[in-house]
Amino acid sequence: MTRADLPAGVGHADHRDVDRLAADLAALGIRAGQDLLVHCSMRRIGPVAGGPAALLAALRRVTGPDATVVVPAQTVGNSTTSPAFRAATDGLDEAGRAAYEARLPGFDPVNTPSEGMGILAEHVRQQPGAARSGHPITSFAALGGRAVEFTELHDLDCHLGERSPLGRLYAAGAAVLLLGVGYARCTALHLAEYRPEARRPAGPPPERAYRCYVLVGGRRERRDFHAPVLDASDFPELGAAIDAHLPVRRGLVGAAPSTLLDLRAAVDFATTWMAGHRRP
């Protein structure tokens, strides 16, 4: 990518920040052709002329045109089983909760914004050529050579398991890039929770009921399903163990402490760690 080829949203006056961020990402160990699952806090990176467009340009400069950048594009505003819904309806009577539920929007993978995933994730989602998985609660967006491949399978009863983009990223040997965020935000670790080996005695993970709304042909429809209960409360402790036992790369991207790790190695380690540290 030359300065003349800077993407929309990045002006020539911003090329110094693209150069700086690209140098930081390369120093962290990102290589050409490496598919990445990225979690990012732009605020922690610090002021960047061009904002998320400059960071995405830097990522794509370092990884090259054949690699794919994947980001979480989750939504909770269309679900009655989310903490956000429970907080918003706390204290309402049955009629009040029903009225609030009636106003929930249906999920549309093309137009529904992500929620709480950061401005880089939302910027990636909106790029020409980006693809998004169809799960109405835990979707992912992707941009690059394997964007469709990584997002085409995302079953309703598999938020973050093998039949989600995480399963494809694991099989592809992708890496996880944590930019200014810790392991509490490392979505890939949830993949380990779906594995029987992570539980002693082995068996299916506990499930709960979920409800959300989607748009189908412009009409709002309800979806009720059961899926595993997921728990990220011990991810910081798990992350400390990963740092101690795996070849993790750490450095600064802008002002943000950042981490680069192999997704498959992290999930395999997490599977064994959960078996030894979580109660049956």
The yes-or-no verdict on residue 3 having pLDDT over 50 is no
The arithmetic mean of pLDDT across residues 102-119, rounded, is 95
The yes-or-no verdict on residue 97 having pLDDT over 70 is yes
Q: Is 29 left (phi over 0), alpha (psi -120 to 50) or beta?
A: left
133 burial via Cβ count (<10 Å: 0-12, 13-18, 19+): buried
Q: pLDDT tens for residues 50-67?
A: 999 999 999 999 999 899
> What is the pLDDT of the chain when averaged over all its residues?
93
- pLDDT at position 67 is 97
Q: pLDDT tens for residues 229-249?
A: 999 999 999 999 999 999 999
Q: pLDDT tens for residues 120-153?
A: 999 999 999 999 999 999 999 999 999 999 999 9
Euclidean distance between the first and final Cα of the chain, in Å? Answer: 51
